Amino acid sequence: MATETPTLVELAEQILAQAKEIESALPSSPTFVNDTISKLPSDLEKTRKSLIDTTETLNALLRGAGGPVGRIFDKCYTYPDELALHVIYHFRIPQAVPMDGQISFAELAAKVKVDETQLIRILRHGMSIHLFHEPTRGQVAHTADTALLVTDHTLFDLVGTLLEDLRPAGLAFPTAMEKWPGSQEADQTGWQVAYDTSMSMYDHICQYPERISRFSNHLTQIARFDPRASEHFASAYPWGDLPPGSTIVDIGGGNGQYSVAVAERYSHLNFIVQEKPGVSVEGAATLPAHLKDRIKFMDHDMFDSQPVKDADIYFMRHVFHNWSDKYCVEVLKKLIPALKPGAKVLACDLCIPDVGERAEVERREVTRIDLMMMSLYNARERDVEQVKDLFEAADDRLDFQKGYTLEGCMDKICEATWKG
């Protein structure tokens, strides 16, 4: 159902009220050099995201649909913004600018070994989007944004991964759509078109040590968005209702961090962490001594038949979003011979919220990732109904129950009960 668009004045009044609330909680009003918004109390994060939504709505309405400042032009001309950031990354320009002080364009061009005229043009556009600033004519100094690219190497590597490695696959995806309409295969995506390879994205990038290193660092940066993810997972589902001695199988569980989080909180549960050979070596080696009798590691490919029979729960966290529907259904089907009546199957992933369920800035985070997963793997993010469809496609005896929301993030634990 369409919602009524607020008037410009209504939006402005809402912005003023929320801005006053946020500013009153900060040591000083944020600037592009002094990023005090990073000190905002966590209980105002919802207000902050609402304010971002409101200002973006006001901006979009004022731009209008057409014309040189219109919404269509604005979207098309994000390419030069990305170009500026790409050049800034590629030539490691932030690292060449003094953290406290300034440097002339001429000196900077010499340090990073680029043409001075080109550098000036790139940086003057970058300055329009708060990448560096020009305190006096001809001088370059850091903003909070570019300073962060120096002090946070995982953020710097995120920029490199997205712009140098992943972005070409997105640009090539329309060609992939024409070449392989509706494909669910990981080797028929924008990546194969962009890089002229038949290998999947991950297999291909693993051939390049520098790329795989920065890809790993970009994942580390993303994980910082919710450093308590495993705690949220442990608290979001009623694990405590399970009877003593219940067995939980953690499929594709990596180093077992989520099993560890639940086991720490619920001492009556036992876990089996399954992964491909070699993946869980570190997790097994660093498992706390007091959990060794309750958490075991097992080599297992989730596309093979499930070897652990009659467990109480089989769960997969951040597994389905790496695969297209076809392969998610296959994984679920491999579980069915092992399931006992009443067994639970849990799939925990990013879930696309309904419109209005979360701030639009949060919802857009997930839809952006969804398009990236499509262009790289033909994988996807899903809403709760689409996860329910996966269970039903695997077997209609997998009775979908509900989606449990994880506090502080966009994940949900989607639960089905085996009725067989």
Q: Of 415, 393, 259, 407, which is closest to residue 348 (Cα–Cα)? A: 415
The residue from 133, 142, 218, 321 that is catalytic is 321
CA angle 301, 328, 239 (to 5 degrees): 80
CB 319 within 8 A of CB 252: yes
Q: Of 337, 276, 330, which is closest to residue 306 (Cα–Cα)? A: 337
Q: Using a CB cutoff of 8 Å and minimum separation of 24, what contacts does 391-397 make?
A: 391/332, 391/345, 391/416, 393/325, 393/329, 394/329, 394/332, 394/333, 394/336, 395/332, 395/333, 395/336, 395/420
Tokens of 23: 């500013």
Is 321 annotated as catalytic? yes
Q: Of 159, 123, 134, 121, which is closest to residue 32 (Cα–Cα)? A: 134
CB 64 within 8 A of CB 75: no
CA dist., res. 183 & res. 166, Å (int): 19
Which residues, 6 or more positions from 38, have their beta carbon under 8 angstroms from its beta carbon? none
CA max distance for the chain: 74
What phi and psi, each to the nearest 5 degrees, are found at residue 279?
-70, -35
> Cβ of 261: how many Cβ atoms within 10 Å?
18
DSSP annotation of 133: B
As annotated, the active-site residues are 321
